Structures are given as structure tokens and as C-alpha cells.
Structure 1
């Protein structure tokens, strides 16, 4: 074999190797493509199965949920109604509790007002209710108003407010003509008028006193006071008669002792 033939043979061998390699590569590539398609189909089938299962699960859940709602529907409505009723009751209890607190406050206020009214009524009753009074040896029943009027007149007399005292005695006599304070008021009214040198009005007050209370322990003093007024009026004869009457009617009184002394001077 010549050199040329060797080179040609080697060329054909090289071509054969190249051709075999190409065929082998083509076969390998075709196998790879086939495997990728199978994997894709498998994946798609799995996805379809997963989606189908998921849809089946959702459908089953919806069906079960609906059946559960249908089964518990009345119970749920009953529970909601019960909850609403309980809420209404709670609100009503709160309202009643507030109303009860208001009523309690009202009762407390009414009780306080009642106590005040009762105290006022009791005070008025005490004012109007007569009580026993002992004055100048005389015991009688008198109201608080009568006592207050007499005490006010006496206070004016003791403070030498003779005009004011005479006025207060006159008001008492006019307002309470049947009062047990009338005799003493007439007597002390005469004294207040005498202190003002109103002798004739004083004599009139003493005379009324003697007529209203002939057994009063101050009768001798009233006769002596009348005689004093008569002497101030320069009526000695009238004064003498009054003094003699005093000594004759009440010989053991202190006023009679003073009358005897004055009768001695009149002679």
C-alpha cells in the first residue's frame, strides 16, 4: 500500500469516526428531549390531580358547612335571641338600679322634709298649746305667744321705757282679753302710765284691775298707787278716801301701813 492509499484510508477512518460521533450525539439529544416531555406531562397530570383534589375538598367543605349551618341554624338563632334578651335584661336591670337609687335619694329627702315639717308643727303646737303659769300667786294656763307678749312689756318697763311698756300692755290686753296675764298687765300698765305722769289714765288702769281681779294679791298696792295719783292731781280728799278704803279692806298689808302714815300727814 502506497503512502497515498494510507492517507486516504486514514481520511476515511477519520470521517467514519466523525460520522459515528454525530449519530451518537443525535441519538443522545433525542433521548433527552423525550425525557423532558414525559416529566412535563407527569407534572401537569399531578397538578391536575392536585387541583381536582383541592376542588373536591372545597366542595366537600362547603357541603359540610352548609349541612352544619342547616343543622345548627335554629340553635344559633336561639342563641342570638337569648343573647339579645340577656342584653335587654341587663339594660333593664341597670335602668331599674338607677331608678332605685333615685327613689332612695327621694325617700331620704322626703324623710328629711318630713322631720322638718314635724319639728315645725311641734314647735307651733307648743307655741299654741297652753302651759301652766304662776304669776303673783295666781296659776293659769297661757300660750307661748301670751307669755312672750307679757315678758316683752315687762322688759320695757324694767328698762324704764315707760311709753313703750304702756303700749305693749295695751296691745296684750287687746289681743288676749281673756288671758291670765290681764290682771297683772292692767296693774303694770298703770305703773307705766304713772311713771309718765299720765295720772288719770293710770287711775283708770288701776280701777279696771280692781274690777277684774278683786282678790289679786296686788290689790292693796293698786289702791295705794291710786291714792298717789290723786295726790299728784292735788285731789287730797279723793286720796284720803282711797287710803281709808285701803286700811279698812287690807289692814295687815304693807300698803296699809304706808297708807296710815300718809293719813297721819293729811290730818
Structure 2
């Protein structure tokens, strides 16, 4: 900057039409020239001061601007870092929520499966407890499934010839279901099971109880014939003949009455 100002002074001197050496010699003799030189020097000094001030002010502004930009850049970097951290946190939270959603979906599916299994098991138990329709000696009735199974087990024992087992099962059945739909049939088959195990005395009591309790039962006539046969096995022909007469009188059109009539000839 100083070189520029010095150059400006020389240029000004040249503009005044003075050579460097001649100007210096002539000016000291001429008052006007000295004034011009003083004025010129003042102007040059002013220009130099102005240039210095301008340079100083520009550097300060640039430094301030640079500081400001640096701070702004640092702030932007911090903001970008914060945003990046927030983004990573949001990604982690999203992954966690997705994992929770997947686990929740699995939990819901498992709960639904368990609920379905429980409902099916409950329905199955209810079906086992619900009465079912069966035909007992020609009559359709609703019966408890457990009662039906107990009755069927006892009859199955008779069919296989296991009369001891059948007597025990039917005895238990009558105590457990004394007024159930199978009660009359149970008494009838209980008498037959006793007859099968050759316990004729108890068979007589069972058949008599059956006929007394259910005289209109489809098997009542058959029970009287079995009663007469039990009496005959007990060597009591008089009682046997009397029972057959009772059979023919009470149920004259039954097959059991016809069979009893034929049986009379062999009872002595």
C-alpha cells in the first residue's frame, strides 16, 4: 500500500511537469512550489491513512465474518450430528416397535390358538355331558351319556357270558340311577344275569320286582316266564305253574304266554 501511495506521489509530480531532480531544486526557491509540495504530501499522507484504515477495516470485517461463518458451520455440524443421532434413535425405536408388533402378533395368534383349543375341549366335554337320544325297549328317550355307558357295559358283560361281572355292574347301576330311563330294563337284565349265574333265588326276587314295578313294560311277560323257569330250577313246580297261569292270564297274546303254555307239560 505504501508503494502505491509513493507511486501516486511521483505520478502527481510528473503531472505537475516537474522532473524529480529539477523539481527539488526549484521548489525550495519558489514559495508556491513549497506549498504545493506540502499540500501534495498532506494529500498523499491522507490517502495513505485512508488506505491503511480501509485495509484494517476490511481485515477486521473478514476476520469477524470468518469467525461468524466458523461458528455457524460448527452449529450446523452440531445440528446435523443431533439430527443423525435422533434419526438413529428413531430407527432403533421403529425396529423395537416392529419387533413388539411381531411379538404381539405371535402372542395374539398363540392366544387365539389356545382359545380355540379350550373352546374345542369345552365343546367336547359339553357333548359328553349332554343327553343323547336312544331307543330303550322300543321307546325313544333322552339319556345321560354316562348312564348309557354304564348300562351298555353291563349288557356287554351278559353277552360275553360274564354273569358275575354283569350282576355287579347292574347292581351298581341300579343304585346310581334308580329312577333313570334304563331303570326297568336294568331290573329285567339284572334278573337274567342272576339266572345266568344260577342264583335262582335272587333271580326270582329280581323278576318279581320288575313285573311289579313295570307291568306294562314290553318285557313284563318275558320276565314272568323267566320267573317261572327260576322257580322250576328251585324245584318248586307248584309256584312255577302258578306263575305261568298268571302269565297266560295277564299277557295272553304274548309269545311268552305261548311258550309258558308249552312249558307247563314239562313242569311236574
Task: Provide the C-alpha distance between the structure 2 equivalents of 1:128 and 1:212, rounded to a whole number of angstroms.
Answer: 29
Q: TM-score, normalised by structure 2?
A: 0.71
Task: Provide the C-alpha distance between the structure 2 equivalents of 1:214 and 1:87, rounded to a whole number of angstroms.
Answer: 92
SS at match of 1:133: strand
CA contact (8 A) 2:163 2:194 kept: yes
Quick check: 216-225 or 93-102, which moved more?
Answer: 93-102
Which residue of structure 2 aligns with residue 243 of structure 1?
244
Change (3 A) 1:68 1:117: same
Residue 244 of structure 1 and its aligned partner are, at CA, apart by 0.7
Task: Provide the C-alpha distance between the structure 1 equivalents of 2:211 and 2:161, rounded to a whole number of angstroms.
Answer: 25
Residue 62 of structure 1 and its aligned partner are, at CA, apart by 9.3
Is 1:155 matched up with 2:156?
A: yes
Residue 162 of structure 1 and its aligned partner are, at CA, apart by 0.9
Which residue of structure 2 aligns with residue 140 of structure 1?
141
Task: Provide the C-alpha distance between the structure 1 equivalents of 2:164 and 2:172, rounded to a whole number of angstroms.
Answer: 13
- Structure 1: any 5+ residue segments left out of the alignment? 1-60
Residue 111 of structure 1 and its aligned partner are, at CA, apart by 1.6
Task: Provide the C-alpha distance between the structure 2 equivalents of 1:95 and 1:177, rounded to a whole number of angstroms.
Answer: 66
Is 1:176 matched up with 2:177?
A: yes
SS at match of 1:216: coil
Which residue of structure 2 aligns with residue 48 of structure 1?
none
Residue 191 of structure 1 and its aligned partner are, at CA, apart by 0.8
Residue 65 of structure 1 and its aligned partner are, at CA, apart by 6.4
Task: Provide the C-alpha distance between the structure 2 equivalents of 1:74 and 1:247, rounded to a whole number of angstroms.
Answer: 121
Q: TM-score, normalised by structure 1?
A: 0.72
Quick check: 81-90 or 155-164, which moved more?
Answer: 81-90
Task: Provide the C-alpha distance between the structure 1 equivalents of 2:208 and 2:84, rounded to a whole number of angstroms.
Answer: 96
Quick check: 147-156 or 208-217, which moved more?
Answer: 208-217
Which residue of structure 2 aligns with residue 38 of structure 1?
none
The equivalences for 1:216-235 within 5 A come to: 216-235=217-236
Which residue of structure 2 aligns with residue 201 of structure 1?
202
- Structure 2: any 5+ residue segments left out of the alignment? 1-61
Residue 198 of structure 1 and its aligned partner are, at CA, apart by 0.8
The equivalences for 1:30-109 within 5 A come to: 66-109=67-110
Residue 72 of structure 1 and its aligned partner are, at CA, apart by 2.9
Task: Provide the C-alpha distance between the structure 2 equivalents of 1:265 and 1:179, rounded to a whole number of angstroms.
Answer: 38
Residue 250 of structure 1 and its aligned partner are, at CA, apart by 0.4
SS at match of 2:203: helix
What RMSD over aligned residues (CA atoms) do the two structures have, in Å?
2.2
Task: Provide the C-alpha distance between the structure 1 equivalents of 2:93 and 2:85, rounded to a whole number of angstroms.
Answer: 12
Number of residues of Structure 1 aligned to a counterpart in Structure 2: 208
Residue 66 of structure 1 and its aligned partner are, at CA, apart by 4.4
Task: Provide the C-alpha distance between the structure 2 equivalents of 1:97 and 1:148, rounded to a whole number of angstroms.
Answer: 54
Moved over 6 A (4+): 61-65
Change (3 A) 1:198 1:69: farther
For each residue in 1:104-123, what CA deviation from the matched residue of structure 2 results, as whole angstroms up to 9, or x when unmatched? 22222222211221111111
SS at match of 1:77: helix
CA contact (8 A) 2:232 2:267 kept: no
Task: Provide the C-alpha distance between the structure 2 equivalents of 1:80 and 1:121, rounded to a whole number of angstroms.
Answer: 60
